[in-house]
């Protein structure tokens, strides 16, 4: 035996363990992350391949997410836990390590549907919907995007007009997560007094949700078109505090914050999968991890993952302290989704042919992240939001 052979094995670290990011978290934050990760490992990962392949997301998961306590977990009261922003972000990261569809469900339920009611609803609306949504007994969706108006929601054509004491809504919304599962939709519409929000029970006559099929991304998630054909609502359906476009955009900012953390979960899972596979895969009589080109890939991906989490935690601390600005959330979403997508793609290369099967997660994560890159603000729009913050010039107008 040579001197080299007798050396003790080198200590190894997980990618985020190398950054020692746990020391930046308090006990409650670590416990929440561990609890959600255990749930994802036990309940979701064993089934996600089948759900992705069949393009389904079981409705009963809503109740399980409610029991876990992640639906509206960053809101106070009404059955919500009121945890801090970092805890919510870590939960999003663990959910998206399972699949972007899981984080999308929780994000839309808590940061779009529930937050719109929590921030802009009447006390009666809050009492009616928030406890049920928090428990997963009801499901919500958020109707802002339209077929021709994504990055420019101010141009929406959905219209709400007064008819006596009622409102009558007509229009179409597109790419709506949870649309076919939802019991209530927050719908944004043009009125004579500008953009307003309305709570639309999905069993209201004239409301139709059409599921979008043949998706190549976010297959373990329900995506829908909403059609409103003379949907008549009482005056009490209007969100009384929602005035102008700033209201739905503030909801989107809440959801984007979850993406800043969530996308890193997909990247982390891809990287952990690639390291495990490459360590067991022998190429020319030694593990794939023993080659310099492999280690270069792993080192570069670890750097971007760790830097992304440091940015996410920093933005979370700002959010908890004095409130994070929209352009700061743009920094986080742009960087972390872009780098997470690059990591997932690179990890697929380390898996070779095996990487194109559902047995391994990186290509599934990469497919999902193509959607995450686009929704709730495309990369181009976040670049321009950052550019405006730097120059004072709105280049997108």
Domain ranges of the chain: 15-135, 140-243, 246-391
For the domain made up of 15-135, give the CATH fold: Butyryl-Coa Dehydrogenase, subunit A; domain 1 (1.10.540)
- pLDDT at residue number 1: 43
Q: What is the pLDDT along the chain (397 residues), one digit of tens a residue?
A: 444 456 667 788 999 999 999 999 999 999 999 999 999 999 999 999 999 999 999 999 999 999 999 999 999 999 999 999 999 999 999 999 999 999 999 999 999 999 999 999 999 999 999 999 999 999 999 999 999 888 888 899 999 999 999 999 999 999 999 999 999 999 999 999 999 999 999 999 999 999 999 999 999 999 999 999 999 999 999 999 999 999 999 999 999 999 999 999 999 999 999 999 999 999 999 999 999 999 999 999 999 999 999 999 999 999 999 899 999 999 999 999 999 999 999 999 999 999 999 999 999 999 999 999 999 889 999 999 999 999 999 997 7
pTM of the prediction? 0.94
For the domain made up of 140-243, give the CATH fold: Butyryl-CoA Dehydrogenase, subunit A; domain 2 (2.40.110)
Share of the chain above pLDDT 90, in %: 94
Q: 3-class secondary structure for the chain? A: CCCCCCCCCCCCCCHHHHHCHHHHCCHHHHHHHHHHHHHHHHHHHHHHHHHHHHCCCCCCHHHHHHHHCCCCCCCEECCEECCCHHHHHHHHHHHHHHCHHHHHHHHHHHHHHHHHHHHHCCHHHHHHHHHHHHHCCCCEEEECCECCECCCHHHCCCEEEEECCEEEEEEEEEEEECCCCCCEEEEEEEECCEEEEEEEECCCCCEEEEECCCCCCCCCCCEEEEEEEEEEEEHHHECCCCCCCHHHHHHHHHHHHHHHHHHHHHHHHHHHHHHHHHHHCEECCEEHHHCHHHHHHHHHHHHHHHHHHHHHHHHHHHHHHCCCCHHHHHHHHHHHHHHHHHHHHHHHHHCHHHHHCCCCCHHHHHHHHHHHHHCCCCHHHHHHHHHHHHHCCCCCC
Same fold, 15-135 and 140-243: no
Catalytic residue annotation: 376
CATH architecture for segment(s) 246-391: Up-down Bundle (1.20)
When the pLDDT of each residue in the chain is averaged and rounded to a whole number, the result is 95
Share of the chain above pLDDT 70, in %: 98
């Amino acid at each position: 035996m040579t001197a080299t052979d007798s050396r003790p094995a080198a200590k190894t670290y997980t990618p985020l363990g190398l950054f020692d990011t746990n020391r930046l978290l308090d006990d409650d934050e670590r416990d929440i992350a561990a609890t959600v990760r255990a749930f994802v490992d036990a309940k979701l990962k064993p089934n996600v391949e089948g759900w992705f392949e069949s393009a389904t997301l079981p409705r009963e998961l809503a109740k399980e997410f409610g029991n876990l306590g992640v639906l509206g977990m960053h809101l106070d009261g009404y059955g919500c836990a009121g945890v801090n922003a970092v805890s919510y972000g870590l939960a999003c990261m663990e959910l998206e390590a399972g699949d972007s569809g899981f984080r999308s469900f929780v994000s839309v339920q808590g940061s779009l549907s529930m937050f719109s009611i929590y921030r802009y609803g009447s006390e009666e609306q809050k009492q009616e919907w928030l406890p049920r949504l928090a428990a997963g007994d009801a499901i919500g969706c958020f109707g802002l995007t339209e077929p021709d108006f994504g990055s420019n929601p101010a141009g929406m054509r959905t219209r709400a007009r007064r008819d006596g004491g009622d409102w009558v809504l007509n229009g179409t919304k597109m790419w709506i997560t949870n649309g076919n599962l939802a019991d209530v939709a927050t719908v944004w519409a043009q009125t004579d007094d500008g953009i307003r929000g309305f709570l639309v029970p999905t069993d209201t006559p004239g409301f139709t949700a059409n599921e979008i099929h043949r998706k190549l991304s976010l297959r373990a998630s329900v995506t829908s078109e909403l059609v409103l054909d003379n949907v008549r609502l009482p005056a009490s359906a209007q969100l009384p505090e929602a005035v102008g476009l700033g209201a739905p955009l503030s909801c989107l900012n809440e959801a984007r914050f979850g993406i800043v953390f969530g996308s890193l979960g997909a990247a982390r899972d891809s990287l952990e999968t690639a390291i495990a596979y490459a360590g067991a895969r022998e190429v020319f009589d030694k593990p794939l991890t023993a080659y310099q080109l492999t280690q270069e890939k792993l080192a570069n991906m670890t750097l971007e993952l760790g830097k992304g989490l440091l940015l996410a935690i920093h933005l979370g601390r700002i959010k908890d302290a004095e409130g994070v600005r929209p352009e700061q959330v743009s920094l986080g979403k742009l960087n972390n989704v872009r780098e997470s997508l690059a990591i997932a793609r690179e990890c697929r290369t380390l898996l070779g042919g095996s990487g194109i099967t559902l047995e391994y997660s990186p290509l599934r994560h990469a497919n999902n992240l193509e959607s995450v890159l686009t929704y709730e603000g495309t990369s181009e729009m976040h670049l321009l939001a950052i550019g405006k913050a730097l120059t004072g010039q709105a280049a997108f107008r």
